[in-house]
Amino acid sequence: MGAFGRVTPPRLVLDTNVLLAALLFPAGRASWLRAAWRAGRVRPLASRDTATELLRVLTYPKFGLIAEERQDLLDDYLPCCETVAVPEPPPAVPQCRDPFDRPFLELALAARADALITGDADLLALADSFAVPILSPAALRKRLVPAG
């Protein structure tokens, strides 16, 4: 039995900042996540809204990505994802300061995710009261290491 008490890979909501860190910084602290989803050790979850947010952020000028580079990054991530349709209206989630955080919370609830992975202090602050575990990438890695 693996981490999270499951035989199958943990189903995870990865917030945009974690995804960017994994996709754009090969030597960064979250780079191991990219290898984990490629190897099937984790199963990322995506909704229409979270995929749209990733697409939006990848176009930021500060990343300097041309269309082909953005497509390569999406091709490395999206095929590994399980797509989840968040119902309308979406599940009720706690108030959060950043409206761009809502779709990640909604996806985590709608998908019955094993965890929401974030480095966002606003989301981490909800960890004690949210129905789905909210973990930092480092905390997730500690849970996965024993699984191998």
CATH number, domain containing residue 101: 3.40.50.1010
pLDDT value of residue 99: 85
Domain count, the chain: 1
Q: What is the pTM of this model?
A: 0.92
The domain in which residue 72 lies consists of 3-147
68-91: burial string, b at 16+ Cβ within 10 Å, e else: eebeebeeebeebbeebebeeebe
pLDDT tens series, the chain, 148 aa: 456 666 789 999 999 999 999 999 988 889 999 999 999 999 999 999 999 999 999 999 999 999 999 999 999 999 999 999 999 999 999 888 888 899 999 999 999 999 999 999 999 999 999 999 999 999 999 988 754 4
